[in-house]
Chain A
Amino acid sequence: MYEYATDTIHSLNMDSLDLGDKKYDELCQIGCGAYGTVFKARDLQNPGNYVAMKKLRVKLNEDGMPMSTLREISILKQLDSFEHPNIVRFYDVIHQNILSDERHLTVYLIFEHVDQDLGSYMERCPPPGLSVTKVKELTRQMLCGVDFLHSHRIIHRDLKPQNLLITKAGGLKIADFGLAKTFDYDMMLTSVVVTLWYRAPEILLNLGYGTPVDIWSIGCVMAEMWRLIPLFCASTEVEQLKCIFRVIGTPSMNEWPDNIPLLWSSFEQYSKVAFSSIFQDCCSKANSLLENMLTFNPAHRISAAEALEHPFFTDRENEPL
């Protein structure tokens, strides 16, 4: 029975080649993230077009293809049908014919190729840095994209400059969302160090979390656009929390969550630093928005929809810097 089945699959590869293969011509590797490698490829069916192929290894479980993988890919497809301007287009899924080894198979997710990510965009930004208008515009686009995801109950969980793509026209598009359950920690490529810099305190503290984690990350990215250096950078969870508290102040004992292993008393008592002293050339409205996004308690953090209504975006008159 088993031999028969394997046989069938092998002989079948012949006919199914034209179904999946050879639609894209792999050119070069663009990046290597926590869950897979990204390649740039030529789209053979649309000459002159390029795609980004994200290669992932999916672990099959005893009941075959994991349900979460199937559903998440289907959600990616559904979301794509809205063609939201701040979400990277998702074109296709291709998966390898045969099991690459006993229990894994390789899946390629095909996305539109965008010229650069926000990380390199900031790196290449000549001195005095990004203008207020530019920061405002990019932050607004981030919030629009995230508001869209949140309204479809998707939490990104990993917003950071490398997952924010900047098009030639200066538009911002969010990449790598919606694969939360599928490509969970046990699937990560172990050699890749995951950055903690944009992680919300509730994630660092291992608490349950929801959509507010993305707002925290947007706050970090917005601050970084201003200063062109990351806001909070540490390499362990505890160090990262200290870094955060040095700016927003150590939360009071009342605010400290119950039943967590990390003791409130193990943190030094920092008092809150005035945001205007960190972001010297930032207007008061920008500072107020940042403060609302970088709030320790996720329940009190501003939502994406609320943030878009913040005076930083809605007030017409240009406040002097």
Chain B
Amino acid sequence: MERWYFTKEQLENSPSRKCGINSHTEHCLRHQAATLIENMSQSLQNISAKTPNRLSQTCVHTALVYMHRFYMCHSFTRFQPNTIAPPVLLLADKMDFDREEALLIEDLIHAAEISQSLPRITVTGQYKGQVEDIILHENLLLQTLGFNLDIEHPHKHVLKACTLIRVPEDVVLSAQFMASCSAHLTTMCLQYKPTLVACFSLYLVLKWANWEIPLSCEGRTWFTYIDDEVTEDKLVELTREFLDDFDKLPSKLKDKINAIRSRKVGRKTKLKEGKLKRKLEESVFPIS
């Protein structure tokens, strides 16, 4: 797995950079690819001929990680986001063990058309070409990713942390949303373990809400229970990086993030009994 974590220097020496794409442009292109993947997954919900294709949050996240990894091996000059998005989603969906039947390429092509406001293909030959194109790129993707297709998501760690410190549901949802955003707006999945990304996501939401989590009865900070290598300094560093990336991108996500930022999530919501899974009754954290 070490193979898929990169230093800042390595990120700066990406294949796209070697092909003359500057850092900012690559950042925008990654975000563009991510947005396309997200939009396609939304479109897919409405067009399936059979059962609805409801791709889970984690499935989309898997697709985003595949995409980020792919562009650490290949340049954007060679592979446009719209070529890579469909096979990436196809593969992520096949690896989503909660789904019994895989997506149909037919639906995927349709979703790509809707997401890019393209007209529907009507010529049979053209359609067949598109199918072949997706299959070939899926194959290329597999070759690039080397069958390292199991992706650990930050989301499950976010949930674990939220359960541990007992925060209200809107905090949970906001932190999950931030975890997803990390893959849309940054390359954190190429740099940090999912546990660290999870801690960062919740940390930021708590910080925006001005919510202090006291030390546990063992005298430890909450995030060390998720990953004992995580430190406050590291979380501050990630926050700075995130806000940096965030400022640079024109993105629809901004509004929603800003809303979380200013709404002071969780502040006034009283913790409702039973609303949150109280798995850790004997939690080391008191109810704040």
Contact = CB atoms under 8 A, between A and B. Distances in A.
Interface in A1-48: 1-2, 4-6, 8-9, 12, 15-16, 19-20
A63 B104 contact: yes
Interface in B119-168: 126, 128-140, 142-144, 146-147, 149-150
B94 A2 contact: no
Contacts of B209: none
Contacts of A12: 74, 78, 140
Interface in B65-119: 73-74, 78-79, 87, 90-91, 94-95, 97, 102-105
Given A65-B94, A70-B95, A105-B139, A19 B130 contact: no
A95 B95 contact: no
B90 A70 contact: no
Contact of B146 (A5, A20, A64): A20
Interface size class of A (residues with CB under 8 A): 20 to 34
**A contacts with B: majority SS:** helix
A93 B87 CA distance: 20
A77 interface: yes
Nearest to B131: A62
Contact of A1 (B73, B129, B143): B129
A306 to B, nearest CB: 29
Nearest to A9: B136
A8 B150 contact: no
A73 interface: yes
Nearest to B104: A63
Contact of B150 (A15, A65, A78, A105): A78
Contacts of B149: 70, 74
Given A2-B132, A63-B104, A73 B139 contact: no
B132 A5 contact: yes
B143 A20 contact: yes
B150 A2 contact: no
A70 B135 contact: no
Given A19-B146, A77-B150, A95-B142, A2 B95 contact: no
B94 A70 contact: yes
A74 B104 CA distance: 21
A65 B139 contact: yes
Given A2-B132, A71-B95, A63 B146 contact: no
A305 interface: no
A62 B73 CA distance: 27
Interface of A: 1-2, 4-6, 8-9, 12, 15-16, 19-20, 60, 62-65, 67, 70-71, 73-74, 77-78, 92-93, 95, 97, 99, 105
